[in-house]
Amino acid sequence: MTIVTDTATTISARLRERTSQAHQSAERSRFLERLLGGELGIDAWAALLQQYGFMYEALESAAVTVREHGQLGAIPAVELDRASSIAADLAALAPRLTQPLPGELPATREYADRITASAADPARYLAHHYTRYLGDLSGGQAMRVMLDRTYTLPAEEATFFDFTEIPAIVPFKRTYRTQLDELAFDEDAIARLLDEANASFTCNERIFEELDARY
């Protein structure tokens, strides 16, 4: 096994570089721009949050297997788990909704199935873990501000964004990336990680497209 030791090409740096285009494409989706721009109602946010619920149930179920194998060390930390927070937020949001939630969309089912299948390959699972949870700790925090400004989200409706078990987010993200860079991944594993991370952003973009058609 060839271990990556070149600090100029760390795994985290390669991830940022190789997923930059796919990340930007997902962020610029029409649905997300309309949602954060205030063009949609609270129902649209609840529908997206419901889709997140299906994603995180798959992520956190697969994490059990990944932790047992131990190949990702402390990276799949339970402090990041979001499924229960999403369920609580949806329950709190329910009185404000004006129409039924859409349920699991086809694109969401495809994404959740892909996450579940990745549990057998730590590199592929890490791709989904990285894109979702690091996104929540970074752009997700700005997203919370924008949603609150537009739709008014009291604390009990926004626990998805509240990482109460992580006292300081910036040091946590720094440690996450250090742990990522120290993984004993050979080039084949890194290639799978990079490919799957791009696929993860594409899956998210398809969900946005389906939601855009509904709202």
pLDDT band for position 7 (cuts 50, 70, 90): very low
Q: For Cα atoms 106, 109, 66, give the angle at the middle one, nearest 5 degrees.
A: 165
Residue 143 pLDDT exceeds 50: yes
Per the domain annotation, does 78 fall within a domain? yes
Give yes or no for a contact between 169 and 144, defined as CB atoms under 8 angstroms apart: no
Per the domain annotation, does 41 fall within a domain? yes
Q: Locate tokens 């109460």: which residue?
A: 164
128 among the known binding-site residues? no
192 among the known binding-site residues? no
Q: Locate tokens 């299948």: which residue?
A: 117
What CATH number is attached to the domain comprising 81? 1.20.910.10
Per the domain annotation, does 1 fall within a domain? no
Per the domain annotation, does 105 fall within a domain? yes
Per the domain annotation, does 2 fall within a domain? no
Q: What is the pTM for the complete model shown?
A: 0.92
Q: What is the pLDDT of residues 16-25, one digit of tens each?
A: 999 999 999 9
Give yes or no for a contact between 201 and 166, defined as CB atoms under 8 angstroms apart: no
16 among the known binding-site residues? yes
Structure tokens at 88: 């609580």
Q: What is the pLDDT of residues 24-54, one digit of tens each?
A: 998 899 999 999 999 999 999 999 999 999 9
Per the domain annotation, does 185 fall within a domain? yes
Per the domain annotation, does 31 fall within a domain? yes
Q: What is the pLDDT of residues 151-181, one digit of tens each?
A: 999 999 999 999 999 999 999 999 999 999 9
Give yes or no for a contact between 61 and 53, defined as CB atoms under 8 angstroms apart: no
Residue 4 pLDDT exceeds 80: no
pLDDT at 149: 92
Over range 197-201, report the average pLDDT: 96
Split into its structural domains, the chain has a count of 1
Residue 105 pLDDT exceeds 90: yes
Q: What is the mean pLDDT of the chain?
A: 93
Identify residue 95 by its one-letter amino acid code: P
Those residues whose C-beta lies under 8 Å from the C-beta of residue 65, and which sit 6 or more positions away, are 119, 120
pLDDT band for position 186 (cuts 50, 70, 90): very high
pLDDT band for position 6 (cuts 50, 70, 90): very low
Cα–Cα distance measured from residue 53 to residue 47, given in angstroms and rounded to the nearest whole number: 10
Per the domain annotation, does 58 fall within a domain? yes
Domain containing 122: what range? 7-214
DSSP alpha helix (H) spans, 7-166: 11-27, 30-36, 42-69, 83-93, 106-117, 122-129, 135-137, 139-151
130 among the known binding-site residues? yes
